[in-house]
């Protein structure tokens, strides 16, 4: 069995921006320290929630290096390095490895809509070029292409491919994947409303949006499950479901950025074409945050 990168909850960090739309590294540091103080198990920088697709090359590289330095080995740092251009993904992956990221998260290529053979070739090339573990990220609702269980099986023996962030939303498909490769690849939930179901199938945890505002509670969902308190884990998952739904009432990371702005960790500024929440959605989100004592 390959080495597990983390068990529990990893936060897919927002990227804090100032009023001018530039990365606010002071707030970024505060956010990282909040996460670690709350007991988060790992951090993901420059993922979907971090608006990686609209960061410049320099911003992407600098954000990875900044979080690695700020964390300073206290928890694993996972860098988002995926692209629809394999050579570009390799370049980002090599940079993340060089500056000390503990692993890389590589999304399926968006827009191109690669075949399964194309996915195998791409992930193999990136894993060959990486000196750190690779997590495959499957989110077909955003990329237009999904990874089949048989494709995971074809990639599972690569020594650098160690895990899957599975956000296809199809529990039956996830069960099929774990049945095929669960002894070779760790599986993390990519959806906050499916943490417990995926843990029950043998998953190792979640790469989470919810844990931006609620790292301690997200970790606790996993901890309760791992300690055998399945009922308690389920209860907390269900208790937080209305807030999770509010966090996804518009496309991620629009609500997450809004929530973190209300908590003082960023301005509510997004990179175009993303746009701040509709007023009624924001009001519902804020109400849930007040009920949970977050603001």
> Which residues are designated catalytic?
137, 165
The per-residue DSSP string of the chain comes to -PPPS-SEEEEE----B-TTSSB-HHHHHHHHHHHHHTT-SEEEESSTTTTGGGS-HHHHHHHHHHHHHHHTTSS-EEEE---SSHHHHHHHHHHHHHTT-SEEEEEPPTTT---HHHHHHHHHHHHHH-SS-EEEEE-HHHHS----HHHHHHHTT-TTEEEEEE-S--HHHHHHHHHHHTTTSEEEESSGGGHHHHHHTT--EEEESTTTT-HHHHHHHHHHHHTT-HHHHHHHHHHTHHHHHHHTSSSTTHHHHHHHHHTTSS-S---TT--PPPHHHHHHHHHHHHHTT--
Distance separating alpha carbons of residues 56 and 264, to the nearest angstrom: 25
Can you tell me the distance from the alpha carbon of 121 to that of 124, in angstroms, rounded to the nearest whole number?
A: 5
Residue 12 β-bridge partners:
44
Compute CA distances 87 → 93, 157, 230, whole Å.
10, 22, 43
Which among 137, 257, 181 has a CA at the least distance from the CA of 2?
Answer: 181
CA triple 182-10-260, angle to 5 deg: 145
């Amino acid at each position: 069995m390959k080495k597990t990168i983390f068990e529990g909850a990893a936060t897919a960090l927002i990227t804090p921006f100032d009023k001018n739309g530039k990365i606010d590294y002071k707030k970024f540091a505060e956010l990282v320290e909040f996460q670690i103080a709350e007991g988060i198990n790992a951090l993901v920088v420059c993922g979907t929630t971090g608006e990686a697709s609209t960061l410049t090359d320099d911003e992407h590289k600098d954000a990875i290096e900044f979080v690695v330095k700020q964390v300073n080995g206290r928890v694993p740092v996972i860098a988002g390095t995926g692209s629809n251009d394999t050579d570009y993904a390799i370049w980002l992956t090599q940079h993340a490895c060089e500056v000390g990221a503990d692993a890389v998260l590589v999304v399926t290529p968006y827009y191109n809509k690669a075949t399964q053979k194309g996915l195998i070739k791409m992930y193999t090339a990136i894993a060959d070029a990486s000196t750190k573990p690779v997590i495959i990220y499957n989110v077909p609702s955003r990329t237009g292409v999904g990874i089949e269980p048989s494709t995971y099986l074809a990639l599972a023996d690569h020594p650098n491919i160690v895990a899957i962030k599975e956000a296809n939303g199809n529990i039956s498909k996830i069960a099929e994947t774990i049945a095929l490769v669960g002894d070779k690849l760790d599986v993390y939930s990519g959806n906050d409303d499916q943490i417990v179901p995926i843990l029950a199938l043998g998953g190792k945890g979640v790469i989470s949006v919810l844990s931006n505002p609620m790292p301690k509670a997200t970790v606790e969902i996993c901890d309760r499950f791992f300690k055998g308190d399945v009922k308690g884990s389920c209860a907390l998952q269900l208790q937080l479901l209305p807030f999770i739904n509010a966090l996804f009432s518009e496309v991620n990371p629009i609500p997450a950025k809004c929530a973190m702005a209300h908590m003082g960790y960023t301005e509510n500024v997004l990179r175009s074409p993303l746009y701040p929440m509709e007023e009624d959605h924001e009001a519902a989100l804020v109400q849930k945050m007040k009920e949970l004592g977050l603001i």
